[in-house]
Structures are given as C-alpha cells and as structure tokens.
C-alpha cells in the first residue's frame, strides 16, 4: 500500500508496536497488514486420502489436499466445500476441524477440515495435473511445510472416530 485509503497522502514508514508500518502523516491512518485466510480439506474416499498434484506454483509438481483462499464474505466452511468441488469435481460434507496452521513471516493462515465425498464426479481443473487416492501409509512427496503435520493431525482425528455429522 503506497497511499492512504482515507486521504490519498503518500504513506511513510513509522515504527509502531514493534514493527515498521506504513502510516499516513496527514490523518494518522496506520496500515496493519493481515494474513490471507486459506482453507483445505482432508477428503476421505474409499478408505483413502484424496490428493492432487499441483499444476501451479507454489508447490508445482508436488501433491497436496484440495485447498485455496476464502473469498470476501464467504465462510471458511463454504470456501472449503467450494475448493474441493473446483479442484476435484467432488461434493463433500465436512465432518470436523483438523486444525489451524500458521508460520512466522508467512502471509497465510490455513484452516483445515476433514470431509468425505457425498457426490459429484472427478473432473479437470487447470490448477491440478492429476488427482489420486492414497493410503495414509504410502503418501507421495507433499507440497507445503505444514502438510506432514496436517496429515498426522488428520490421522489422530480419524483414530478418535470423531464425526460431527457435518459443519455449516
């Protein structure tokens, strides 16, 4: 952000609350950069985990679960269901929350659900090279730093036998 959204004055860097932040010298506006919210779903189908090989960066050529950004005005759970449909063609029911993941100096907070296929058919997506089912003991190389922890958390979730009949 280069200009104040309130008065259009060029922003200057000011040290506030332990960080350099863009601030307006005219009206006092301070821009606090917030993280983007992303969602993902660990989809169970036929007793296996549904993964897709990414066709785009970041993580191009590696495998991950269906995921993407939450749109403005959209709930995280609806975004999760939408992302699975867009990337795989499957309709899912969310069964619970696996966890929330973030890293220092990363601009994304990731909310991960567990879900199961309830309809749809496998389809193409320009963000995905291929989609396949994997047993949890034979996963391919995963794309992102949190993926192995997410899989471990998902397996723990499954071992507890937690189902909530859907999340809205």
- 13 Cα distance to chain centroid: 31
How many residues comprise the chain?
168
The proportion of the chain whose per-residue pLDDT surpasses 70, expressed as a percent, equals 95
Please answer whether residues 33 and 105 qualify as being in contact, where contact means their C-beta atoms are separated by less than 8 angstroms: no
**pLDDT at residue number 159:** 77
- Residue 105's pLDDT band, with cuts at 50, 70 and 90, is confident
Q: Is 127 a catalytic residue?
A: no
Please answer whether residues 61 and 131 qualify as being in contact, where contact means their C-beta atoms are separated by less than 8 angstroms: no
In the structure encoding, which two tokens stand for residue 27, read together? 């009206």
Query: Please, is 72 exposed, middle or buried when counting C-beta atoms within 10 Å of its C-beta (0-12, 13-18, 19+)?
Result: exposed
pTM of the model: 0.81
Please answer whether residues 91 and 119 qualify as being in contact, where contact means their C-beta atoms are separated by less than 8 angstroms: yes
Query: Please, is 66 exposed, middle or buried when counting C-beta atoms within 10 Å of its C-beta (0-12, 13-18, 19+)?
Result: buried
**Domains, the chain, ordered by start:** 1-33 (2.20.70), 36-159 (3.90.79.10)
In the three-class reduction of DSSP (H, G, I as helix; E, B as strand; rest coil), residue 151 is classed as: helix
Least confident among 44-53, 74-83, 111-120: 44-53
In the structure encoding, which two tokens stand for residue 43, read together? 């989809």
**pLDDT at residue number 162:** 52
| Catalytic pick among 12, 130, 145, 148 | 130
Residues paired with 44 in a beta bridge: 49, 116
């Amino acid at each position: 952000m280069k200009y104040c959204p309130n008065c259009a004055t060029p922003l200057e860097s000011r040290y506030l609350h332990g960080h350099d932040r863009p601030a307006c010298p005219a009206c006092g506006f301070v821009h606090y950069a917030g993280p983007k919210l992303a969602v993902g779903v660990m989809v169970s189908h036929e007793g296996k985990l549904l993964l897709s090989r990414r066709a785009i960066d970041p993580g191009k050529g590696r495998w991950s679960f269906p995921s993407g950004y939450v749109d403005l005005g959209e709930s995280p759970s609806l975004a999760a269901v939408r992302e699975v449909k867009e990337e795989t063609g499957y309709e899912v029911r969310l069964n619970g929350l696996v966890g929330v993941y973030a890293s220092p100096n990363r601009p994304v907070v990731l909310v991960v659900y567990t879900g199961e296929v309830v309809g749809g058919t496998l389809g193409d997506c320009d963000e995905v090279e291929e989609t396949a089912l994997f047993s949890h003991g034979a996963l391919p190389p995963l794309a992102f730093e949190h993926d192995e922890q997410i899989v471990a958390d998902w397996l723990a979730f499954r071992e507890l036998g937690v189902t909530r009949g859907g999340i809205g």
